[in-house]
Structure 1
Amino acid sequence: MSFAAHLIRPVKGPRRGARLRRPGPPGPYTLLPWLLLGLGAFSDLWQGETPNPWIGGLGLLAFNSLYVSVVFRGFDRRRRGSATSYRLLVAMGAIAFSLAIGYAGNWLLFLPLFSLACGTILRGRWLGAGLIALALCASAVATWRGDHSSESWTIGYGTFISGAVTAAILTLSETVMELRATRQELARSAVEQERLRFSRDLHDLLGHTLSVIVVKSEAARRLAPHDLDAALAQVDDIESVGRQALTEIREAVTGYREVSLATELERACSALTAAGIEPVVHRSGPPLAPGTEALLGWVAREAVTNVVRHSGATRCVLTVGSTPDRARLTVTDDGTGPVDTSGPVGGTGLKGLAERLAAAGGSLESGPGRDGGFSVVAELPYEDAYEGEYEGQGSAAASGDY
């Protein structure tokens, strides 16, 4: 099973009537219950234990309002880093420290609340520096006033940890959401690549196979009135090509198709001969790596298909060779068929092959030949099929003509 098919294969869903819930980042409402830390200050106001209760009440209302506003802005990326968010945070800090210094006691708990709000807004180096400075200031205020039930250092510690944990949880949640989005994008990209591979393989397979079948059918029709045995031989070839095409299509669908350059050269000779074109194949150099052979095999198949269809040639030469760092396949003909001049590489099939070779570090060029006709030249980085076996032997390790 291919990677894309694995990604999109169906999975068992929830039972009927069940709601599928996907965990996501916490929302701003999850931070609102922390306002209950201010109940102690509200109790002091209610019981009349706070001097100037109207000032304390207005400060409590203003702090809570700013807290809600800052927390909601902290969960919106576009508004989080705005100047307004920082202004609200500064105003909130001024009120928190004013209430803590003025009333102390339970009012010191507004400093951890302020730190929590800072954790929703601040990021990066500003977060660490801000929380450390805030914790030190909170400890200093608690030590100065010294009338809270807890030790002064616990106020500083609580102030630091409130902002740090909040920022860490929100950052982690945002990262998880980004990873989910990236995974979905990778899945879509894999599906697109699989579709592209499948369409290219079908184009190369069916284009070549149908061309061979048509040419051999025409040859069988011409030979039938004069040489029945030769016509039947062409029909046998048609059957063999059809069966092979079925096998290759199945392999292309499952994603395990491998192309042999030697096999493609033999098929090319057969197709050219049936079309009345003289095939000439030259091959030199050591064996190529399977991946290189597969890509050059695709090029040979597509180029010969174009020769049979469009060239009107009488002779086609296929040359396979290699240099110390490159493997090359050249297909030339002496035809006068039409040539696509819309770009450096003509035809849908050759364009797709050019993309494949470019992805492998190679190149594909096509155009009119120097002596007429049409020429296709494919080059790929050379890789030994068997490491070290041909070391030092160069391109003379194997040579010969078909």
Structure 2
Amino acid sequence: MRGPEGWWRRKSTPAKFETYTRWSFHFLALIEVPSIGLAAVGGLGPGLGALLLALTVVHAAVSMVTVSRGLDWTRGRRPQPVRLLGALAAVTAGAGLAALLVARAWPDSDRVATAAGMVFGIVMVVGAGISALALRGLRPLGAVVAAYGLAACAANLALGVPWSASLITAAGVLVGGGFIAFTAFFSVWLLDAVYALDEARETRARLAVAEERLRFGRDLHDVMGRNLAVVALKSELAVQLARRGRAEAVEQMIEVQRIARETQREVRDVVRGYREADLGVELAGARGVLAAAGIACEVRGEAVGLPDEVQSALGWVVREATTNVLRHGNAGRCGVRLETTEGRVVLTVENDGAGDVRGGGGSGLAGLRERLAEVGGTLEAGPAGGELFRLVARVPLTAAEVTA
């Protein structure tokens, strides 16, 4: 899992989308070198062609740095690269003017005009479009693209290019640069939406935990608050009766004792209901949750007939394994197998995200080992070859404990 595929699989979904967006615009800048730089060498020869190739390489490098810094700024990791936008504009202007000067020096050569015009047009279009990654809002974006178009028109007119050709060049820069700029704007918006959805999912999970804690606290309050109020009243009555020397005080204290025992039983019931997990419900829930996350899930085996304590322990294993697949991995497939053999129940959970899940070291797995130890069970977790991650829980089971 140390190869490129493992590096990719270890990323979260938003991080994958960010990487895709980042390298898409890096490739857009990098493609300048073979598309126009090498063409300039072929059209202009090793002298002037090499000069334009060097300017193209510098422009591509500055564009790629702008892509990285601009996307980092949109994610709040660094300040807006204002100086870098100025540097990109300067390099774009330098490469464009160099191309126009070359074309003017050899006005009778169609080959020179074609190569120089290609360099000028593409660096202007790419420069205008890449700048959008370091801007926020449609108005600044439109203003920058318009500025590149006007600069292209003005440069052509200053070097004696006819009005018609200058306007066509400016229109080409506006259309091409505007298209790339809109693509950049939409990509940043979509990237923000992906991160927002991921944060919303985490928030929903935290709210679910908080809601469960509130439910547990509410149940305890209902049990303890009511019974403790009765205990306080009964105790106060017993004190008053005892001071008067009346025998009824003993009966009141016996009642207090009974209520205390009843409270203990009710608290144990509340805690037991909170801690126990139904294996059948957890298996069905795992299938539904993973399917909703786009992970193919196959469940084999049934929990019918297993003792309650075994179902509770294995239910927590299914719950924790499902949570790990969703939280830490980017698996595409997950399999759950439950089987009873040789006097024990074996639960196996496998997924193809071995590069994303850490085996054996998490607090969640440590907690599962403690739960299984209470019923004499064991837990094994770790990579199982290739991309497979396997979790195996074994709980001893005698034949007499299985109901018909």
TM-score (ref. length: structure 2): 0.45
Q: Which protein has the bigger helix share?
A: 2
TM-score, normalization by structure 1 = 0.45
Q: Which protein shows a greater Rg? A: 1
